[in-house]
Amino acid sequence: MSHSPIDLSSDDPKPGASRRQVLRAAGAATALGATSAIAGASARQDDEPPTLRLGLVGCGGRGGGAVRDALRADPNTKLVAMGDAFDDRISSKLAEINAEEEFKGRVDVPSERAFAGFDCHEKVTDNCDVVLMASTPHFRPAQVEYAVKAGKHMFVEKPVATDAPGLRRMWAACDEAKEKNLAVVSGLCYRYQNAKRATIEKIREGAIGDIKSIECSYDTGGLWHRGEKPEWSEMETQIRNWLYYTWASGDHIAEQAIHNLDKMIWTMGDKPPLSVKANGGRIVRTDPKYGNIYDHFSAVYDFGDGVKGFFSCRQIPGAFRDVSDHAYGTKGIAHLQSHRIEGETNWRYRNPGVPDNMYQNEHNELFASIRAGEPIHNGDYMCRATLLALMGRMSAYTGQEISWNQALESKEDLSPKSYDFGDNPVKPVAQPGITPFV
């Protein structure tokens, strides 16, 4: 499939129409028929809505959270299949969920529906109606492609790719999912927090006037490391510690700090920046066990017309923490993380007394949309947020200013040479001014 540059003045800033494929009529009819059947059944007052079979791909902490949220979101859901690269991750997560009284009778994952290995997503998808994708980010494009072809609804964690070729695959799959009326709900959870939605709405209404700049920070401490064992191959060590390898995670600017970058582009009405100039490196996490990612980034995104987005992220233990977002306008300032506006308009979000758990909200809305026959499609914005992160990394790694189109068309493919538990040499840490843009 060919990919063309995009017109940043367009309302559809993504690869051109050449990315859209003509869908197989049979596949589209199957997916649409399944959605209609679910919607129709739920609309009949005298019938119990059909049970939606859930499948989990990726049995880590986020995967466990997604399963719990999905089960709570709809009483007629059941976990029936699980997959991960490793058997021990499946068994430990299954035991953990089975031990919770809240989900008694709603978990049915026998050994024949517990799948380990690189192809686990295919087997999980074949056994369920809704796939919860929370595995190592590198594998996300292939997982979504398969689910779309199988006609399954999806919850898709962030980021959705770790390089531009993967992102182009993902964007094409999301377009196809939309054509087939399949739900694609993103793990960019702040978009499902009512307090954030209300704050963005006030900005849209003009409460801070014209936006002149945005400042976003995701400065935190360190994260987990699962160690190394002599019996583990290079590939197994990397996947068990996937955070620290660019091919697997996209670096922490994509894996973690994408939340703030998503809020930046959301505040801008999902208008992409023209370009980015970024810096970064690794000062503290220099031990080889931390793979080849950086421990800090800073970037300036140019949105045109003099509007800039200032961004920083850091994962350094013992340093001060700051996770915040501020939009500066001609009439005031919006503090997105604390849901406040000050200036000509002074405003603070007041919770109306209803729960506002953004993780739960996204699953509540996902399953409600499936039942209603009007599946949610978050594909475009989750791809744009991922590209925002990837272009910042590309700029920092190379020391070059990178445009949106350059990043989208990048030929840098971070995929390993093969998918097996053998050797997988770690690429050198990127050096600005030396590492080329590809």
CA distance 61 to 242: 13
**Which has the higher per-residue pLDDT, 421 or 15?**
421
Helices 25-43, 358-371: inter-axial angle, 10-degree rounding: 100
The predicted-structure confidence for 345-364, as pLDDT tens digits, reads as follows 999 999 999 999 999 999 99
CA distance 284 to 255: 19
Q: What is the residue extent of each domain of the chain?
A: 17-190+360-378, 194-356+386-409
| Residue 30 CB contacts under 8 Å (≥ 6 apart), including other chains | 151
What does residue 255 show for φ and ψ, rounded to 5 degrees?
-70, -40
CB 137 within 8 A of CB 254: yes
Q: Which residue, 394, 107, 111, is CA-closest to 276?
A: 394
CB 181 within 8 A of CB 152: no
Helices 379-398, 164-179: inter-axial angle, 10-degree rounding: 170
The predicted-structure confidence for 361-414, as pLDDT tens digits, reads as follows 999 999 999 999 999 999 999 999 999 999 999 999 999 999 999 999 999 999
CA 184 to chain centre: 11
- Banded pLDDT at 228 (limits 50, 70, 90): very high
> What percent of the chain has pLDDT above 70?
89
Q: What is the CATH number of domain 194-356+386-409?
A: 3.30.360.10
**pTM (whole model) above 0.85:** yes
17-190+360-378: in CATH 3.90.950.10: no
- Banded pLDDT at 22 (limits 50, 70, 90): very low
